Structure 1
Amino acid sequence: MMLKLKNKMLFWLLSCTIAANAQTAPYTLKREITGVQTNWHSLVLPNPMYQKLKPGFEDLRIFGVNGKDTVEVPYLLKQRGDQVSTQEIAFKQLNQSNANQVYYYTFQPSAATVINQINLNFKQENFDWKVNLEGSNDNQSWFTIVKDYRILSIKNQYTDYHFTRLNFPDAKYSYFRLAVKSNTQPELLATKILKADTVKGVFQNIKYQSYNIKNDAEHKETVIDINLTDPVPVSQLSLNAQSDFDFYRPFKIEYVTDSFKTDQGIRYNYMELYTGTISSLEKPVFTFPNTITSKLKITIQNNDNKPLRLSGLALKGNVYELIARFDDPKLPYALYYGNEKATAPSYEIDKFENKIPAGLSSLTIGEEQQNPAYTVKITKPLFENKAWLWVLMAVIIVLLGWFSFKMLRN
């Protein structure tokens, strides 16, 4: 009787283990999650995970084991980048005048409101001017907001570069006056007055193994190859570039998609990530979509100019964060990944994001380990034993001999 009871308990435990492992079996890797105390938590993905995940994180899952059942935890994947919102302010232009090669434009916003950006569009294609911006509440007493702000436009066979946006601290006046210092009459085609608000994202500094600078005189360009420590998300590049004179150079940023071996060594395939202009007028900080890569290439077009002096660079990337709902905080949970056949999950919580509480506590993600429940279906060969092959060959020889004998007899 006791033996039968033990057998039943063993069978029940084995059944529970098989049922619990069924959902997690296709995933090769796992990381334990600790610190679950409430229903809602956040998790920041460790950098070493990115090279093991499918593109788009389609194979990322959170599972908890509850006896014979496996509970899948719904989550939202968030990329903590800068969130910029821009509001255009309605206004009317009151007058236009000039004196001593200074051209004045006065604007009155429809309501006294805060602004911090003015975009200008001139008919001229090539100019280099200095402008002043002033504010007033009575159109008589004027206060300086920015002074000798440089705006520039260059268009030729090599480049098409415009820098005609005024950025300044928040200012609130009833009137704004723009003074353009120019030897010729500026032809102002359009003006936009804006209020730009930026909610700073969460960035992490990216370590790189090395970078190599090559000035290619034949192609008149400077190429910078950057090797990262691991494949990680990159979304911002800062270049420390100097020259004895003002400069503006077209450039592009590319990232490695894959590599292949040749007789000359390893070659890389690149995809374009960012194109723009590096200039002495603007901060050399460039932002682009968060991209996971292990190698970057920067190409600066020098044309017939002397190469820039590049003394350093810095990389940053947006943090990927999971916001997860744990229905039973008492269960043991783990991150699972490494399933080539997995498709992206679809959870309902993305439709009710506004109901997720703020100020979530972050969980601790453990070290990577092999998933003990991982199983691989192996297709066995038709003939595992060589003896079967010898038998098959003997049968074929006998059949060929019989047919040959029959043909000779006829």
Structure 2
Amino acid sequence: METAEVRSQYTASQVLDASVDGIGRLQFILDLGQSGALHNKLHIDTGSLNYKRQVSVYAAPSLLSHGSSGWSLLTDKGYIFKFTDPQTTFSTDSGEVAYPQSSSRYLRVVVESGPEGALSLVSGSVYRYEISSAKEETETLPADVLQEKETQTTEVIVDLGAGNIPTHRLTLSLEEEGNFSRTAYLFGSADAKTWTRIGQGHLSQINTQRFTGGNSAIEYPESTYRFYKVSIQNFDDVPLTVANHVEVTHIIRTVVFEATPQKAYTLYYGNPKAFTPRYDLSRYFEYLETTSLPEATLGSERENSEYIVPAGSVVPFTERNKLLLNVTLAFLCLLIAMFVGWYIWRHVRHNASAGIVPPVMPSVLPQTPTSASAPQSTTTPQPAITSSPQPIPPPVVPPQHTEVPRQ
């Protein structure tokens, strides 16, 4: 599989003669240590927070002063910026400047002045930056533009028509003539309902006497969503005028394989569980000149008749028949209750037919009150007889003598 490949080789360098001239330009010299090493890109790191500056890069085989006419211009189209929002702590920047490939040992870098004042240099780095032969393709698609007054944003929504299409850049068409600088957030979605934030950028257009430049594209990690939404933060400024179409960029991928002329091959796709094959070709692919290879043409698409759909996971019987399980448990509970009730009824009936009377607990009878003159007797309790209950005799009342008065 041939895709875009980025190679970045760092070249050690030393910063010399860093200074700020009378008009606020930051200038410094980078010493690469030796001549002959190829390089085509540098990165400027500053300690300043908000700025937009143009950059010029010069080259020389020997060390010269800043004002020398021996410097050769490599580019004066460099552009660096940094934007920091103190309220949301959002920050975005770009400090890279590309120039034609050079083998010079010394580079002179001039950062133009700006209204924010002179920049403070932290470091400067030199690279050799290469991109493989993979190509990009840009497609223009219609988009819906919505002005949201409540959130003070401009939303641009684009539908790719299908998912699983890898993209990595989205470019807006801004129909503005004045100067502006806005933060933009990028979201992706599979159904245009649930959105996931996947990137952010800074849209700007500056045209002044000191600086001219702008940016209308948002770079993001390669994604395969069907829907994309750009939310431009207008705040209290007039909403931007955005055209109802956007440009979506993706990398063209090619499949390179060994083939015999006049022979047909079949390309299979769509199996997410397929493993990656390993061939010798992958180990010497980087030494091939792929731009001159013959291109194969695709035939008609058809179903794979030999494909067998894998069996799904086995679902337990109890999970597949939850209603039957609940009815069975209820029936078993009812059956157990009926058995317990029948057992109790049978036990009571058996005792009644055998003449077995349940034992009666002895009760305490109240004592019969006696006259004050009658002595109270102490009765020793006797052991209870449990064979059968006996009737309790009524208490014996001692006879009382009545005296008849004499006549």
Question: What TM-score, normalized by structure 2, do the two folds share?
Answer: 0.60
Q: Secondary structure at the match of 2:235?
A: coil
Query: 1:45-84 counterparts in 2 under 5 A?
Result: 78=1, 80-81=3-4, 83-84=5-6
For 2:278 and 2:79, the matched residues in 1 are separated by 51
**Which has the bigger relative contact order, CA under 8 A and spacing at least 6?**
1
Stretches of structure 1 that go unaligned for 5 or more consecutive residues are 1-77, 260-266, 380-402
1:165 aligned to 91, 96, 110, which one? 96
> Compared with structure 1, are the counterparts of its residues 355 and 100 closer, same or farther at alpha carbon in structure 2 (3 Å cutoff)?
closer
* Aligned match for 2:128, one of 195, 216, 238: 195
SS of 2:193's partner is strand
- Match in the other structure for 1:277: 202
Q: How much has 1:150 moved relative to structure 2?
A: 5.0
Deviations 1:96-135 (A, max 9, x none): 3444234432222211244332222222223455544333
SS at match of 1:315: strand
More strand per residue:
1
- Equivalent pair of 1:237/1:314 in contact (CA under 8 Å): yes
User: Is the Cα contact below 8 Å between 1:80 and 1:203 reproduced in 2?
Assistant: no
Query: 1:375 Cα deviation (Å)?
Result: 6.2
1:227 correspondence with 2:159: yes
1:96 corresponds in structure 2 to 18
- Asked if residue 354 in structure 1 is aligned to residue 284 in structure 2, the reply is yes
d(CA) in 1 for partners of 2:54 and 2:167? 36
Partner of 2:145: 213
Taking structure 1 as reference, are residues 242 and 198 closer, same or farther at Cα in structure 2, changes over 3 Å only?
Answer: farther
Unpaired runs of at least 5, structure 2: 206-212, 315-337, 347-407
C-alpha distance in structure 1 between counterparts of 2:173 and 2:12, whole Å:
38
Structure 1 residues 185 and 366: alpha-carbon distance in aligned structure 2, compared to 1, 3 A threshold: closer
Give the length in aligned residue pairs: 298
2:174 touches 2:242 (CA, 8 Å); kept in 1? yes
Larger radius of gyration: 2
Q: Which moved more, 1:187-196 or 1:136-145?
A: 136-145
Task: Identify the residue that residue 57 of structure 1 maps to in structure 2.
Answer: none
Alignment match, 1:107: 30
Question: What is residue 133 of structure 1 aligned with on the other side?
Answer: 57
The corresponding residue for 1:175 is 106
Q: Percent identity?
A: 17
2:188–2:195 CA contact under 8 A, matched in 1 = yes
Whichever residue aligns with residue 278 of structure 1, its letter is: L
| Pairing of 1:7-406 with structure 2 (within 5 A) | 78=1, 80-81=3-4, 83-101=5-23, 102-112=25-35, 113-138=37-62, 139=64, 140=68, 141-147=70-76, 149-155=78-84, 156-158=86-88, 159-182=90-113, 184=117, 186-206=119-139, 208=141, 210-231=142-163, 232-257=165-190, 259=191, 268-280=193-205, 281-311=213-243, 312-324=245-257, 333-337=265-269, 343-349=273-279, 352-354=282-284, 359=290, 360-373=293-306
Letter in 1 for 2:279: I
Distance in 2 between residues matched to 1:108 and 1:338, nearest whole Å? 53
CA RMSD of aligned residues (A): 4.0
Q: CA deviation at 1:305?
A: 2.2
